[in-house]
Amino acid sequence: MSSPVSSTKTIDISWQLLQQKDQLLPLRALDSHKGDHGHVHVIGGDHGYAGAALMASQAALVSGAGLVSCATRPEHIAGYISRCPEVMVSAINSGLELWPLIKGEQRGNNVLVVGPGLGKQAFGQLLLQTVFQQLQSATKPRAVVLDADGLNLLAEKPMITGSVIDFAKHAVIITPHPAEAGRLLNISTAQVQADRVGAAEALVNKFSCTVILKGQYSLIAGRNQAGELTIYRCLDGNPGMATGGMGDILSGVTGAVLAQFIGLGLSPLAAAKLACCVHSKAADHASVEGEIGLRAMDLLPFIRRIIQTQPVSGDEMEEHSLEETEQGSSKDD
């Protein structure tokens, strides 16, 4: 495939603009319950990648998902529970064990987050195959966030179920970095970077989904409610985000926002816009002490605060962060 070329104009967005337009998560009804805010199912965490699925799960929790489950290797269960007991962890070794966990979850605001730490070995292949088979057999639209090796396997094995997967009737958001985007489009990373807008547009058209193309000024592309392809450029973010685990945090945030937005009747494109800006803005707040050494998990407390309809101010966030750091130090001492 030749390099995509696009003349589509991008619309600049940021967390501040979304806040000004009242496009953050709304206040919750007083009588709301956990089922109203979605159930995020994270699927991944092969040997050597346990942290990825756990980070995505924790990110989904702080982003407001009512329930978060994680299907991962049995060896990881004890560590996950000790680190974050709010995540409902299931031990799986195969697609046969995964199928009953996701088959019955047909409610519209349940979201599968597939890919964090998935790996490309037999474990990852079987789990992705099972998810795609579930999509193909589903009688109702399903919501899915596809990331990391979920994308790499889709590029390598587009007919992993025996036929090409069609995302058109589902709410699917993919979150590739430039190299993953290149694999999905059968072009080089350099070609993606030479025309990021064209690459994002090509991904939307090829896979009938919403796209977050990560990188400097991440692009959010998809079709609006009128069916028009629209591309946004996120102005938040900083170079400190170039570290392992940032994509796993984004996939968890995206899954949680998608679950809540579906319940509100909003589109995957709107969910992707908010998730990307919240993730990037949180990284900006977390990097106040410097971009070098920024860790993915540093974003979590900031994500929780800035995703609110009435967010804490920047100064207050820094004060809270300092208080938490000091309290943590005193406890350790």
3-state secondary structure 156-186: HCCCCCCCCCCCCCCEEEECCCHHHHHHHHC
The least confident of 44-58, 177-191, 314-328 is 314-328
Q: Is the pLDDT of residue 61 over 80?
A: yes
pLDDT confidence tier of residue 175, bands split at 50, 70 and 90: very high
- Of 129-143, 239-253, 297-311, the range with the highest mean pLDDT is 239-253
Average pLDDT rounded to a whole number, residues 234-252? 98
What pLDDT digit, counting tens, does each position of 103-116 carry? 765 566 899 999 99
pLDDT at 4: 53
Average pLDDT, the chain: 90
pLDDT at 166: 87
Q: Is the pLDDT of residue 247 over 80?
A: yes
What does the DSSP assignment read for 181-213?
HHHHHTS-HHHHHHTHHHHHHHHHHHHTSEEEE
Question: What is the residue extent of each domain of the chain?
Answer: 10-22+35-332
The least confident of 201-215, 283-297, 312-326 is 312-326
Q: Please tell us whether the domain made up of 10-22+35-332 is placed in CATH 3.30.465.10.
A: no
pLDDT at 319: 40
What does the DSSP assignment read for 48-63?
T-HHHHHHHHHHHHHT
Strands 210-213 and 219-223: antiparallel
Q: Is the pLDDT of residue 19 over 60?
A: yes
Whether the Cβ atoms of residue 85 and residue 57 lie closer than 8 Å to each other: no
Q: Is the pLDDT of residue 243 over 50?
A: yes
Average pLDDT rounded to a whole number, residues 58-77? 97
Rounded to two decimals, the pTM is: 0.90
The least confident of 32-41, 135-144, 189-198, 308-317 is 308-317
The tokens for 160 are 């992993």
Whether the Cβ atoms of residue 101 and residue 93 lie closer than 8 Å to each other: no
In whole angstroms, give the CA distance from residue 215 to residue 63: 22
Q: Is the pLDDT of residue 214 over 90?
A: yes
pLDDT at 263: 86
pLDDT at 3: 53
In whole angstroms, give the CA distance from residue 63 to residue 300: 9
pLDDT at 317: 41
Residue with tokens 């967010």: 311
pLDDT at 8: 77
Average pLDDT rounded to a whole number, residues 303-308? 93
